[in-house]
Chains A and B, each alone.
Chain A
Amino acid sequence: MRKFLLAVMLCFVASGAAFAADDVIKIGFYNCLTGQNAFGGQLELEGVQLALKEFPEVLGKKIELVVVDNKSDKVEAANAVTRLINRDKVNVIIGTYGSSLAIAGGEVAEVGKVPVIGTSCTNPLVTQGKKYYFRACFIDPLQGAGAATYAYRKLGSKKAALLVDVANDYAVGLANFFKQSYIKLGGEIVSDMRYQSGDQDFTAQLTEIISKKPDIVFLPAYFAEGAIVLKQARELGATFRFMGGDAMDNPEMVTLGGEAIEGFLYTGFAYAPDMKEMNPVAKKFTENWKKAFPNKDPNGNAALGYDSFILAYDAIKRAGSAEPDKIRDALEKTKDLPTVTGVTTLDKDHNPQKDIGVLEIKNGKKEFVGTIVPE
């Protein structure tokens, strides 16, 4: 009985949302604006705001952006989505950085029946079995395989070591996918070291890794930690190369890491402001960004914020309606949509099959090396 009532109420809410939004179409945005992941969330917000400036209207109605902070906290993420759906009655939601936050938010969106477009939550569990969660980024199994392929085939490494934040879902997941692919390709994992989020001293783990003489070390950390790891590794006399994942892509990394970061490789979303072959969307995005934020380089997160907005915009246009369920149906049929990080087609699990970009830090600047197809 109560379930039935709840369902009735949710129908009310869902249809109410459509009625309430007569003059404007509301896009909700929940992300980490404070807390430990604030750097990523902030850049994504700026990407979304940039897109909003470019596309302020759809279906003849003004688009309104409702921004809610999730404080990099799961409870807050669930609260934020509840609030967006029920109080602000948004038509579609964008967010968030951090897969565990997206998972918490996704559970709420599923009940509230409002579609969400994930920006950079790369863990497969985010959209697994979900009707209303989509994403603009590739997923970690693909990224881990891409990194392993690059390390084994292009760099010719045979022995790899791992240094992983054991309390971080992203890091543990990505390291695991890297490991599986690397072993399958014929490589060997000589050392698998762990640390805890918040640690700042990695000397013990690094000394141990150095003694195992790997060709390459895979470090799926966040950039702020990664930069410190690299510095300590160089101090300890490490000569091997390091490789990381998309969370390393941040303009601040070079300032943090300085010289130690030279030669660092990482997989990421196929966008960098300096990439040679830029698609037209990326070109436009880069130009607009430089106008809006002349002192700040965009990165993959900013691009994904922008892309998420484009996905929502495109879906609303194709749906011809701002009703959340219609937007959801349209999102599911997203096909060959040109976005900053490549052409987006969503598969049956709501994940895009995107190219994996490989970037390298050269002369204190990140350079786009190229794209790789995971084996």
Chain B
Amino acid sequence: MSGLNSGDKKLRNNALTIFSAAALAVCLWLAPTFIDAYKVRIINLIAINAILGLSLNLIYGMGGMFSLGHSGFMAIGAYVSAILIITPDQKQLMWILDPISPWVMNLQAPFLLSLIAAGVAAAFFGVLISIPVLRLGGDYLGIATLGFSEIIRILITNLTPITNGPLGLKGIPPHASLLMSYGCLAVMLLCVTRLMRSNFGNVVRAVRDDEVAAKTMGIDTFRIRVLVFTLGCFGGGVGGALMGNLITTIDPKMFMITQTYSLLMIVVVGGLGSMTGSVVGAILITTMLEWLRFVENPITIGSLNIPGIPGMRMVIFSVLLIAVIIFRREGIMGMREFSWGWLLRDAKKGGAK
């Protein structure tokens, strides 16, 4: 790349980014016409998982705060968005256990606004929770956030007049189209990379790598941590809302700790601290879970019938996961970020190493 000065490089990279984003948008716009709804759904799920992974990575990979509470923030986002966009008539029919509280019934907002409200609500709870618990470090923080996310789930289960309890909400309008999900992902990716490249990003990294040193530099580390945590929660809320819109029904059981585990896997497999890594992780984990379905289907080879083995899929998945962690523990991307320079340099050298 010696032939290009830095200004040209920037221009080239921006051009490449805009071009590929446009190409991706066209592909996504055309996708539903050419591939079946099943694949469309999985492609969509990838984007949502990427958003969720990215937001968790912001908290954990960038901010160095071990949080196990992401499913709780997803739940808040999903419920806020769903309540805002389901029509009052539908709500009237759905609350068959306890009568719905009138203010929940009459809350209404357009989809985009509901998405932002979902993020804001999750962020609000994020602030509330983070102020006390961020004094803790390491595993203790993880455990405390896990406790909070379970409390959120139990509250949602019990507060029937607001949440319809264990019955959950159904008939959420399917606003999470491919373009919508990927649009959200793109906006988020853009904001986060911009943020991390700015001076604020340096401050966040400094706080993560050495809190004491950062403090002596005059950084209000606590405030920075709360801020990063809240931003991550915002992403979690938006991701949860999109998830609800994709599946079109939600209930408290969707937001168990296993949900957080799968996000954690996405983050770690992709590479802790790598934004683009989370996207790669989301693609890998989501497609692998779908692709592995075949092992549970009965297979017929000639006249030989092999019955499907229930449970086998997760067995293979967990073995693969353990293998990845043991043999490539830094994840696919490590701490690196995808960049055009990196890609082109490697291409020039004759492919990836």
Contact B310 A173 (CB under 8 A): no
Contact B158 A166 (CB under 8 A): yes
Q: Is B192 an interface residue (CB 8 A)?
A: no
Contact status B249-A107, CB under 8 Å:
yes
Q: Judging by beta carbons under 8 Å apart, are B32 and A75 in contact?
A: no
Which chain A residues numbered 65 to 106 have a C-beta less than 8 Å away from chain B? 67-69, 74-75, 78-79, 82-83, 85-87, 100, 103-104
A68–B310 CA distance with the chains assembled, in angstroms: 10
Q: In the complex, how many angstroms separate the beta carbon of B206 from the nearest chain A beta carbon?
A: 39
Q: Which residues of A contact B298 (CB under 8 A)?
A: 67
Q: Which residues of B contact A67 (CB under 8 A)?
A: 297-298, 308
Decide: B41 and A82 in contact? CB cutoff 8 A. Answer: yes
Q: CA–CA, A5 to B252, complex, Å?
A: 34
* A375 proximity list for chain B (CB < 8 A): none
Task: State the majority secondary structure of interface residues on B.
Answer: helix
- Other-chain contact of B36, A8, A13, A79, A104 (Cβ < 8 Å): A13
Q: Does B167 contact A (CB under 8 A)?
A: yes
Question: Is A176 within 8 A of B37, CB to CB?
Answer: no
Q: Which residues of B contact A79 (CB under 8 A)?
A: 38, 41-42, 290
Q: Would you call the interface of chain A mostly helix, strand, loop, or mixed?
A: helix
Partner of A34 from the list B97, B249, B311 (CB cut-off 8 Å) is B311
Interfacial chain B residues near A58, Cβ < 8 Å? none
Q: Establish whether residues B37 and A167, one from each chain, have CB atoms under 8 Å apart when the complex forms.
A: no
Q: Do the beta carbons of A125 and B170 come within 8 Å of each other? A: yes
Number of residue pairs A-B, CB distance < 8 angstroms: 114
**Inter-chain contacts of A373 with B (CB < 8 A):** none
Contact residues of A between 1 and 22, Cβ < 8 Å to B? 2, 5-6, 8-10, 13
| Contact with A5, one of B33, B167, B168, B310 (Cβ below 8 angstroms) | B33
**Interface 0/1 of B303-322, CB less than 8 Å to A:** 00000101100100000000
Contact of B38 with A167 in the complex, beta carbons under 8 Å: no
User: In the complex the two chains form, is B29's CB within 8 Å of A86's CB?
Assistant: no
29 example contacts (A-B, Cβ-Cβ < 8 A) are as follows A2-B177, A6-B32, A13-B36, A13-B37, A34-B314, A68-B293, A69-B296, A69-B310, A74-B247, A74-B251, A74-B254, A78-B247, A82-B37, A82-B41, A83-B38, A83-B293, A85-B38, A100-B168, A104-B248, A107-B171, A111-B37, A123-B167, A124-B96, A129-B90, A166-B165, A169-B165, A169-B167, A196-B154, A197-B253
